[in-house]
Every structure is written in C-alpha cells, then in structure tokens.
Amino acid sequence: MARKRGKSRPKDDSEETLAGYISLAVERLTHLAQSKQPSDKGRVLNTAIFIVVVSFAITHLIIYPDSLWSLSGIFLLFLSGIGSFLVGAFLYERWLNILVKPSADEMGSIKLGAIVLLVAYPLALTGLIFGVPVLIYLTFGMIALQTLVLLIYSVFPFVRFGKEGTTDQKGLFGRMGVITFSLTILDIIVTIVSIIVSLTR
C-alpha cells in the first residue's frame, strides 16, 4: 500500500516582504487606535506626528529643495514616509510606551510628547520646503529632546495630585490639551502658507 504523501504547506513569506511589514504595522496601530484605553489612542497620535516629521526630515537629506515638487521628489517623500511609518509603528511607539509608563500622569506625558513633536513639525516642514538644513537639525534635536523631557516628567511630574492621587488639572501642564490644539492650528496655518509660498516663488 502506497504511503500517502502529505501536502507540503506553501511557505508564507508575507512577513518577510515590505508589504507584509506595512500590513503588520497598520494592524498594530489600528489595534491601538481601537483600544478603549486613552493612552493607547494617544500613543497612536504621537506616532502619526512622528512619522510625518521624520519623513520630512529624511526627505530633505536626500533631495534638493528645488526638486521637491517634481515626480522624483514626491516619490522620495513617499518612500521616506513608508520608512518612517515602519520605524514609528515598530520602534517609536514602543519606546514612547516605555517612557510614559512610569509617569504618574500617563496621559499628561503623552500630551507633552505631542507638544514637542508639534513644535518640531513646522521646523521639519519649512526646512524641507525651503531647503534650510539648520531647521532639519533642530527637528532631530527636538525628537531627541522629547525623550529627555518625558524622562524628566516621569521622575519629576510637574502636576499636583489630589488627596486620592488624582491629577489636579490646575497644575503646570493641566491645560496641555489647549496647548496641543493651539499648536495643531498653528501647524495647519504654517503648512498652507509654506506650500503657497513655495509654489508661487
């Protein structure tokens, strides 16, 4: 009686391809975004800002300013975005989680991190559009500063706590949501003005 040969399972190499890594990164961030924990959603927001900022900075390093609006420039920006997306999803988000976990005010730490990145955003954008290297260097400096700021905030929280350990919203960073919103509006204005100036000059 002939022995039955088992069918060999086709090799699943989806995780070894770029598309596979992108799919895993999207799945990871989507899972966090759908979480019921506000801190998970906050880390996704920070990661999204990080991805945009880093993609601008990397693009500046590999193209000339006058070629940004060319087909090759847009393509390189797209590739930088993919690379930044993978770094953000697999490395930055986890690093941010490590930084904010020790804090007595985890959401405060996440908002503080977002504020630093929102300050870095216009530096990266204008540095890319107008070809100003010093702004790109400042962008990388702001990203590094974020780590230092969050470490200090975790050890020495600049907030007051109530009798039951709840955060007092009147503390130094009690209104970080307002600051974050204001910076977001400012970044939108900077984006629009910078693009218009760049395309009309």
- Domain range list for the chain: 36-157+169-200
How confident is the model at residue 158, as a pLDDT?
A: 54
pLDDT in tens, 11-68: 455 446 888 999 999 999 999 999 999 999 999 999 999 999 999 999 999 887 667 8
Token couple for 115: 């504020």
pLDDT tens, 67-99? 788 888 899 999 999 999 999 999 999 999 999
3 Ramachandran zone, left/alpha/beta (phi>0; psi -120 to 50): beta
End-to-end CA distance of the chain: 83
Give the pLDDT score at 156.
74
| pLDDT, the chain, mean | 84
3-state secondary structure of 78: helix
How many percent of the chain have pLDDT more than 90?
A: 57
Residue 104 tokens, joined: 């007595």
pTM of the model: 0.82
Q: 85, 112, 97, 84: which is closest to 35 by C-alpha?
A: 97
